[in-house]
Every structure is written in structure tokens, then in C-alpha cells.
């Protein structure tokens, strides 16, 4: 039995809806083994972020080295990076890995809390150079300079349409040459419980790539997973609630014996 080994480099969400917590649940539900290098510890819930404590760069690198040297890695997902210094150091470590890298350029939480300053966003350039695919929402894509600016790094672009207006959501995958590789159009799910959708999508995509799926198939599966999780949101908290990573089921109860 082989299992895709997914290294997640991201921040922790104490509320469990996004960040490392959402990543681990997503990778596990999709049949992968989740490993982590935590870049920051946040105090947050469905109402917002009340505190951020960056993890020292040396410790972030130590976590990456520990995983790579023993367990091995089939794909990497990068989320909240914490600082420009961490972004540069992580890029240096990942240059030695010949595996798909999914970069989710996290800038603002669903609640509106800022999670990346201008220097950190500028350092995203080097991570995009390494990425197989970058997964911004439309607001993040605008900050990064738009579609052409991202594709100029030689990566695929998963252009998520959830922040656009209209009754339908258009999720598009562009190849590095700018060609539309895949487009999924689906009715918008009207819900306020969307915390963690970006993290979940990127981790689902990384798990598919780590399992050897073609990028179009991994993209389609990731979109489908997020949509089912949105429908399965448990309705927790007083603000932007988490999506339902267990997809409305208790997996253990599905087993016999």
C-alpha cells in the first residue's frame, strides 16, 4: 500500500476551521498522510484573529528537515507563511525537492484579518517560482498582479471564483502558457460558513498531485471536495463558521467489524 505523503507549511488555527487543522483533515479524508511545518500560531475563532505568534525561522526549517530526512514527501502545500524571512528560507529548502508544490498565497482570513504584510507578499515571488500551481482567490490574484503576472512564474494558476458576484461560481485552471486547462461552473452555495475553503482546496489539490493524479483531475477533485464540505458545514460559531471536512459522515461508523 502506498500513501501520498503531503508536507503542509502553514499556520495553526486554534478554531480548527482553517490553516494546519483544515489541511490535516483534508489530506486525511482524501487518503494521504499529512505532515506539518507550522509557521505561526494564531488565536482565532469564527469571528476573527485575536493574536498571531510567528514560529522562529530556524524551527520552521527544522520541521521541514525532520520530515524530509525520514518520512519523505510526495507533494507540498504552502499556506500562511508568516514573514518575508520565513518565505525566503522555506523557498531555499524546497528548491532541493523534486515534488509538486501547491502555493496558496494567504493574505487575509475569511474574517478580514490581515495575515501577510507587504514585505511577505513581495517574498511570494520566489515561492511562485517553485510552485507547480498557485491557488489565489480573486482578491489575492489582484494583489499579485493578475493572471499574467502569476503565470509568468511558469506555474499553473487555479483561479478560484468564490469571491466573484453572480449565481454561479467559475473555477478555472490555467496552464503556464495561459491556456485554459479546465473550467468548472456550478451553482453558488449560499452560506456564511466558508472559513477554511482556500486552505482546504489547496490541500486537496496537493493530495491529488502527491498521489500522481494529472493536474486537471486533481483540480476537479479538489473543487468537488470543497463543495461537498460547504454543504456539510456543521454550523459552529457566531461568525464565519468552518466547513464540514468529514462531509457529513462519521468515517469510523462506516466501517464494519
Question: Going along the chain, which residue ranges are E strands?
Answer: 5-13, 33-45, 48-54, 75-78, 101-103, 133-134, 156-159, 168-174, 180-187
Q: Give the residue numbers marked as catalytic.
A: 160, 194, 196-199
- Residues 6 or more apart in contact with residue 98 via CB below 8 angstroms: none
Contact 104, 78 (CB under 8 A): yes
- Residues 6 or more apart in contact with residue 141 via CB below 8 angstroms: 147, 150, 157, 159
End-to-end C-alpha distance for the chain, whole angstroms: 21
Distance of CA 249 to the CA centre of its chain: 23
Amino acid at each position: 500500500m502506498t500513501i501520498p505523503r503531503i508536507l503542509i507549511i502553514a499556520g495553526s488555527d486554534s478554531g480548527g476551521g482553517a490553516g494546519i487543522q483544515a489541511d490535516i483533515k483534508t489530506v486525511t479524508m482524501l487518503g494521504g498522510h499529512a505532515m506539518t511545518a507550522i509557521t505561526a500560531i494564531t488565536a482565532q475563532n469564527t469571528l476573527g484573529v485575536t493574536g498571531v505568534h510567528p514560529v522562529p525561522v530556524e524551527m520552521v526549517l527544522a520541521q521541514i528537515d525532520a520530515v524530509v530526512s525520514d518520512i519523505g514527501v510526495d507533494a507540498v502545500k504552502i499556506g500562511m507563511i508568516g514573514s518575508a524571512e520565513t518565505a525566503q528560507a522555506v523557498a531555499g529548502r524546497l528548491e532541493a525537492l523534486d515534488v509538486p508544490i501547491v502555493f496558496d498565497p494567504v493574505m487575509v482570513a475569511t474574517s478580514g484579518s490581515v495575515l501577510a504584510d507587504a514585505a511577505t507578499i513581495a517574498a511570494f515571488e520566489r515561492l511562485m517560482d517553485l510552485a507547480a500551481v498557485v491557488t489565489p482567490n480573486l482578491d489575492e490574484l489582484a494583489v499579485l498582479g493578475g493572471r499574467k503576472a502569476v503565470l509568468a512564474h511558469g506555474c499553473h494558476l487555479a483561479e478560484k471564483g468564490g469571491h466573484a458576484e453572480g449565481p454561479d461560481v467559475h473555477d478555472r485552471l490555467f496552464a503556464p502558457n495561459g491556456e485554459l486547462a479546465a473550467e468548472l461552473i456550478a451553482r453558488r452555495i449560499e452560506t456564511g460558513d466558508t472559513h477554511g475553503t482556500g486552505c482546504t482546496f489547496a490541500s486537496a489539490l496537493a493530495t491529488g498531485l502527491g498521489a500522481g493524479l494529472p493536474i486537471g483531475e486533481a483540480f476537479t477533485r479538489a473543487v468537488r471536495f470543497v463543495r461537498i464540505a460547504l454543504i456539510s458545514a456543521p454550523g459552529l460559531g457566531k461568525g464565519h463558521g468552518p466547513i464540514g471536512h468529514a462531509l457529513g459522515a462519521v468515517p469510523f461508523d462506516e466501517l464494519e467489524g
